[in-house]
Amino acid sequence: MDMNTFPPKRLLHDCLIASKKKTPESIAAVVQGREYTYQQLHDEAVVLAEKLVERGVQQGDRLVIYMDNTWPCVVSIYATLFAGGVFIVVNPQTKADKLEYILNDCAAALLLTDNHLANVFLPVLPKVGTLLSVICSNSNPKKIIEGVDGIESFEDIVAKYPKNSPLPPLIATNLAALIYTSGSTGNPKGVMQTHQSMLFTAGSLTEYLRLSESHRILCVLPLAFDYGLYQLLMSVFSGATLVLETSFTYTAVIFNRMREQATTVFPGVPTIFSMLIAAHKRKSLCFPDIIRVTNTAAALPKEYIENLREIFPNALIYKMYGLTECKRVCYLEPELLDEKPTSVGKAIPGTELFLLSLDGESVATNEVGVLHVKGPHIMQGYWNDEERSNKMLRQGVYPADRTLCTHDFFRMDEEGFLYFIGRDDDIIKCRGEKVSPVEIENALHGIDGVKEAAVIGLPDPLLGEAIYAYVALENNSSISQKQLKKICTERLENNMIPKEFILIDELPKTITGKISKKLLLRQKAAK
């Protein structure tokens, strides 16, 4: 084999080099209707990477990408990799307090962001002592952000020609990304993934989804969400085309884009599928070009399947389960959807999984146990958090052999198929993303007049799990449910806003004086 023709894929961005070399004029991405080739993606990423190195970025530095689903966001991810950095994509809905926490927690060397987010990030900048520079997209930031030194224009930088300056040498075990996910303490935790683990995962997912360079993958999920991020990584891995949109909010626009771009892969979460089915019931929808439909984040109700088959008559429908700490755990072969309607399938290619009791013993067939996962896709741990890392990662047979304990309960049938039972923490899965009740409770406790607050999640056909906030007020407080919602909307991301605020005189307590969420759950479920 001519290695110059078929370059090896050892690093995550080697996929971009290979796809550019094979078909430079193929469309890498269609972003809000505009097409970009693999040659463009490669060249702009390399130019930006050179500028990052010029500005002092060194191997292993963390770069935060606080952007919408845009072309600059895609370029910034690959530029960070070329520069030897570690990318962190932060949801553009993130408010100032959490952005500040992430920037300081990872000791960010550089921030890449959008002009329209200036009201959020500008007040944060003086509170982060590690930043070397800020690069801002959307025309010339100096014309919009006046009086702020050190902010440069993304467009000005990538418009230059590459100098072919040397970029840092890397190996597969270098960190590629930190993916921040909600934690039970309220602060997000940074999941450490290497080039090796992410490259393996992209390949494994591409294999079982049966993707190729002919596919056109729609992505309406945030690139800050690992499910959205991997649509980009799988697309570049296979030389396919990513059709990238900011969200699924304006469904008519998305439907038109799907037809116009002849998209073939539709990744979604139950919330998106619920919106899709609701639109289908109002006016019949049919997308015959779609040949893959994938679901994760929360269980896909079996009642949805019939409707999805009407909307996507030629599609294979994949049910999957995963967690950020290893991206994906298992999937159900689409041909088995009717035979195993409540199963989430078996391990993804190249990995292993098994169930253990709480005492660490193997469990019998159809008995409930805690799911454990082994494979190259497992995280290195949580950034700067050895205690929580040790809770999730267990020592294996060999010194470097580790097992991920998901802390989720499953059962396994006689044929080895998995069935999700529940979680052992109070993390809520709402709108396809993990939500920390503590984070919402902290926001509520910061409101004048709130004495106590407790947040729970309950199954919901639209949201996966719906968030309910129980609030006890001070005696002299007259704050209303409407006011609570307004303040939470100002302080929290959209997926964290409780569906309902319930005012009560006193929250139920255990005999030790702790708030009893179990009792709240029972009371709510009984109504």
Condensed to tens digits (0 to 9), the pLDDT of residues 476-490 reads: 888 999 999 999 999
User: Rounded distance, CA 201 to CA 173, Å?
Assistant: 14
Cα 300 to the chain's mean position, in Å?
A: 18
List of residues 6+ apart from 216 with CB closer than 8 A: 240, 241, 243, 261, 262, 263, 264, 265
pLDDT at 46 over 60: yes
Q: How far apart are the first and last CA of the chain?
A: 67
Beta-sheet pairing, 34-37 with 62-66:
unpaired
Q: Which of 499, 500, 489, 501 is nearest to 95 (CA)?
A: 489
Identify the architecture of domain 38-170 in CATH. Answer: 3-Layer(aba) Sandwich (3.40)
Segment (H or E) for 346: strand 346-347
Q: Identify the pLDDT of residue 401.
A: 87
Residue 112's DSSP bridge partners are 65, 135
pLDDT value for 134: 95
C-alpha 402, offset from chain centre: 23
Give helix 437-445 / helix 481-491 axis angle, nearest 10°: 110
State the pLDDT at residue 144.
Answer: 53
Which pLDDT value is given to residue 519? 81
Is pLDDT of 508 > 90?
no
* C-alpha Rg value of the chain to the nearest Å: 23
pLDDT class of 3 with cuts at 50, 70, 90 = very low
Neighbours of 390 (CB within 10 A): 12
Q: What is the pLDDT of residue 145?
A: 59
Domain boundaries defined on the chain? 38-170, 428-526
| pLDDT given at position 418 | 96
Mean pLDDT to the nearest integer, 378-402: 91
Percent of the chain at pLDDT > 70 equals 93
User: What pLDDT, on a 0 to 100 scale, did the predictor assign at position 2?
Assistant: 46
Lookup: tokens for 116: 């329209």
Q: What pLDDT is attached to residue 190?
A: 97
Closest to 453 in 3D by CA, of 477, 433, 434, 429: 477
CA distance 453 to 440: 9
pLDDT of residue 505: 87
Cα–Cα–Cα angle for 345, 346, 349, nearest 5°?
130
CA distance 94 to 64: 13
> How far apart are alpha carbons 373 and 287 in whole angstroms?
36
Phi, psi of 148 (to 5 degrees): -120, 115
- 219: nearest Cα among 271, 279, 275, 263: 263
Average pLDDT over residues 145-168: 80
Nearest to 231 by CA among 272, 170, 281, 259: 272
| pLDDT tens-place string over residues 292-316 | 999 986 667 777 899 999 999 999 9
Of 4-18, 264-278, 295-309, 389-403, which range is least confident? Answer: 295-309
Residues 81-100 pLDDT 10s: 999 999 999 999 999 999 99
Cα–Cα distances in angstroms (integers) from residue 360 to residues 229, 304, 390, in the given order: 34, 37, 15
Q: Which of 294, 224, 291 is nearest to 264 (CA)?
A: 291
Task: Dihedral sign for Cα 422, 406, 392, 433, please.
Answer: negative
The pLDDT value given to residue 298 = 65
Q: For 105-117, what is each residue's pLDDT tens digit?
A: 999 999 999 999 9
CA separation for the pair 376, 341 (Å, rounded): 29
Q: Which residues contact 482 (CB under 8 A, 6 or more apart)?
A: none
Tell me which CATH code domain 428-526 carries: 3.30.300.30
Work out the pLDDT band at 137, boundaries 50, 70, 90.
very high
Res 274: pLDDT: 80
For residue 55, what are its two tokens? 């500005």
10 Å Cβ neighbour count for 333? 15
SS3 content of the chain, % helix, strand, coil (to 5): 35, 25, 40
pLDDT confidence of residue 183:
65
Band of residue 232 on the pLDDT scale cut at 50, 70, 90:
very high
Report yes or no: 439 and 186 within 8 Å, Cβ to Cβ: yes
| Tens digits of residue pLDDT in 398-442 | 888 899 999 988 999 999 999 987 766 677 888 777 787 878 888
Is residue 324's pLDDT more than 90?
Answer: yes
- Asked if pLDDT for residue 513 goes beyond 60, the answer is no
CB 360 within 8 A of CB 412: no
Q: Are 331 and 322 in contact (CB under 8 A)?
A: no
Mean pLDDT of all residues in the chain? 90
